[in-house]
Amino acid sequence: MSYAGPEFEPSSRRRSPMRRALIVALGVLVPGAVLGWVVYQGAPGGSDGADRAPAGTATSAGDGKEPSASAKPYSAAPLKGKVVVIDPGHNPENFRHTAEINRKVDIGTNRKECDTTGTSTNSGYTEARFTLDVAHRLRALLQRQGATVKLTQDGDRPYGPCVDERARIGNAAHADAVVSVHADGSGAGNRGFHVILPAAVREGDADTRAIAKPSRDLGELIATDFAHSTGTEPSNYVGDGSGLVTRRDLGGLNLSTVPKVFIECGNMRDTKDAALLTSGAWRQKAAQGISEGIVSFLRG
How far the first Cα of the chain sits from its last, in Å, is 43
Give the nearer residue to Zn ion in terms of CB position, either 94 or 229.
94
Q: Which residues contact 266 (CB under 8 A, 6 or more apart)?
A: 183, 184, 191, 192, 193, 232, 273, 274, 276, 277
Minimal distance, residue 97 CB to Zn ion, in Å: 16
Minimum Å distance from CB 180 to Zn ion? 8
Q: Closest CB to Zn ion among 182 and 194?
A: 182
Contact 192, 243 (CB under 8 A): yes
Which residues inside 131-190 make contact with Zn ion, applying CB under 5 A? 182
* b/e burial code for range 225-246 (CB count within 10 A of at least 16 → b): bbbebbebebbeebbeeebbbb
Compute the least distance from the CB of residue 79 to Zn ion, in Å: 26
Q: Is 88 in the site for Zn ion (CB under 5 A)?
A: no
By CB under 5 A, the residues from 36 to 75 that bind Zn ion are none
Q: With respect to Zn ion, which residue has the nearer C-beta, 127 or 292?
A: 127
What number of other Cβ atoms are within 10 A of residue 299's Cβ?
12
Nearer to Zn ion, 75 or 102 (CB): 102
Active site residue 292: no
Closer residue to Zn ion, CB minimum distance, 118 or 259: 118
Exactly one of 44, 49, 118, 160 binds Zn ion (CB under 5 A); which one? 118
Catalytic residue, candidates 127, 165, 220, 264? 264
For the CB of residue 257, give the shortest distance to Zn ion in the complex, in Å. 22
Among 49, 54, 89, 251, interactor with Zn ion by CB under 5 A: 89
By CB under 5 A, how many residues form the interface with Zn ion? 3
**Binding residues vs Zn ion (CB under 5 A):** 89, 118, 182
The residues that are catalytic are 264
